[in-house]
Structure 1
């Protein structure tokens, strides 16, 4: 008779703090960065209009996405801190991933609009007050260094906070490009430098946006964490004593830095299912930092234990989800 264990690794820690996150500290640093960004953005929009500088307006638009990303991060932190209950069995931890998606999409959309405006100005550059652009950009560098420092103090292992940090960091680079453009216009009168600086800002925005969409998209599509090969994990589990088959193996990420694994494991008839499960979970935790592991361990039928590896795709379950990994019938 088959003995079944559907066991969880219960050593998941005490919520957010178990993963090195201090939500209160994160909120404090994010709020400081938000105040710096909003205050300077208002100044920059005013100066950009007066100076007729698209580079400054582009930077201000980028700062608007910075502010939105920080606001979304603050909302997501609050939502993610709510305990799991009802039908939301993981709580609202994925809120930060949705926030990262929104950040990435906003960067791409705004970048497209600014690219159009910059290309238009390359053909018909207006007169731009280079001195105002240079002074404002230098002030923006100082403000962005302060905001980036504040965000660096928060938990950047969170994709949500990292998204906000990337916004600020890209804006810092953009201000440097704008300062260079302002100096060029001030000392040479080359008005197209303003549009060129705007295109540099756009390139930074698109790069950051694509990165955020890619990383958050992997999580939403339940892909295995970067650097983890599910087939290699299955082979490693199969190499352990008494294990004859691993199927329904899934590795995904609940939210930033919270990978999880589930699998159905079959062991030799007569083997101690509980002991095998403990050994496998120890292996996953110590070797791969997979602490959220759910393993269902059953005894294999005698017929299954003798089956040829070339028939491995048939599987133990009627409808296996993914490849069936089976050891050689002669290994044990």
Structure 2
């Protein structure tokens, strides 16, 4: 008997996306997963995040504010001699980059696939995140080196200009938080952007405290101390970007997805005798792709299995794009222990 191949792709229902209206299809705690839809008119699969134009506009505004203030802060740090301001500018750059990546997800990743890039341009965002994270790690290394040098030989810091720049930063971050809080909190990208802005706000508060402390006590060592604390925040963000990007590029199993549990769940469906060769990976942080092999139970209709499995993977495991292959009984070969 020749092997029978029957394949099916998941198809999302058509949705009308209006401003301030966003659907979270995931039944599990997959934070920030805005699942993809499909372009039925062209037949091409679209994995772009579902997003409202209003939320995209809010993130664009906050990105411009954050990037603009990061430049002001870097110049202010250089002029005042404050390493803490320069370090916080790096933190602001990391958050501006995160906002930019969200905008890339909305725009670049939404471009239609072609014959050379059948999955579209989603990995552009991942590559940008990897480059951003690597650059920030280099910045942190420089900040740490400079901070050690300042501990050994304290450098004069102009606390007045430092305080002015830090207060401007506090105002910028408060305005950014206000803009994002008025958006639709069902949008994972917007929620992530809000967390970044709140982190920047705490950095501004720290810079204000350090400037006041230097003005009152003359302890310029407060500046490198704060710069190290801010650098720790940058390391956390940068390492997260690098590790997550590498994990996605290596097509690792999406975090929180239990492969054995999913296979057992599919095997329990009516009409299925065997399940195997389940492979799942993340296209971006917003779209999970999977392939799976099943064999029909005696008397079951093999043509009905792909639709059944696809629906289960989507509704119970947040896998929006699945390819199901139906093999003849005994056709699923178990992997060897040393493979």
* TM-score, normalization by structure 2: 0.78
> Where do 1:1-332 residues align within 5 Å?
1=1, 3-11=4-12, 13-14=37-38, 19-22=49-52, 24-150=53-179, 153=183, 157-158=188-189, 168-300=197-329, 304=330, 316-317=332-333
Flag the 1:148–1:5 CA change in 2: closer, same or farther, 3 A: same
Flag the 1:71–1:95 CA change in 2: closer, same or farther, 3 A: same
1:253–1:260 contact (8 Å) kept in structure 2: yes
Flag the 1:228–1:46 CA change in 2: closer, same or farther, 3 A: closer
Residue by residue, what CA displacement relative to the aligned partner does 1:9-47 show, whole Å, maximum 9, x if unpaired? 22363457985323x445422331233234433433443
Partner of 1:308: none
Flag the 1:17–1:298 CA change in 2: closer, same or farther, 3 A: closer
Secondary structure at 2:8 match in 1: strand
Flag the 1:40–1:257 CA change in 2: closer, same or farther, 3 A: closer
Cα distance in 2 for residues equivalent to 1:34 and 1:276:
46
1:138–1:179 contact (8 Å) kept in structure 2: yes
Count matched residues.
305
User: What is the alpha-carbon root mean square deviation over aligned residues?
Assistant: 2.9
Cα distance in 2 for residues equivalent to 1:59 and 1:322:
51
- Unpaired stretches in structure 2, ≥5 consecutive residues: 14-36, 40-45
Cα distance in 2 for residues equivalent to 1:177 and 1:322:
56
Secondary structure at 2:11 match in 1: coil
State the Cα distance separating 1:169 from its structure 2 match: 4.2
Cα distance in 1 for residues equivalent to 2:147 and 2:79:
18
Cα distance in 1 for residues equivalent to 2:180 and 2:131:
19
2:83–2:147 contact (8 Å) kept in structure 1: yes
Secondary structure at 2:129 match in 1: helix
Cα distance in 2 for residues equivalent to 1:28 and 1:196:
37
Flag the 1:68–1:252 CA change in 2: closer, same or farther, 3 A: closer
Q: Between Structure 1 and Structure 2, whose CA radius of gyration is higher? A: 1
Cα distance in 2 for residues equivalent to 1:291 and 1:68:
27
Secondary structure at 2:188 match in 1: coil
Secondary structure at 1:177 match in 2: helix
Secondary structure at 1:85 match in 2: coil
Cα distance in 2 for residues equivalent to 1:48 and 1:287:
51
State the Cα distance separating 1:116 from its structure 2 match: 1.0
Flag the 1:239–1:40 CA change in 2: closer, same or farther, 3 A: closer
Cα distance in 1 for residues equivalent to 2:218 and 2:143:
22
State the Cα distance separating 1:166 from its structure 2 match: 5.9
State the Cα distance separating 1:66 from its structure 2 match: 4.0
Flag the 1:205–1:321 CA change in 2: closer, same or farther, 3 A: farther
Cα distance in 2 for residues equivalent to 1:116 and 1:149:
36
Residue by residue, what CA displacement relative to the aligned partner does 1:241-293 show, whole Å, maximum 9, x if unpaired? 34232222111122222112211111234421122333322322222122312
Cα distance in 2 for residues equivalent to 1:322 and 1:183:
65
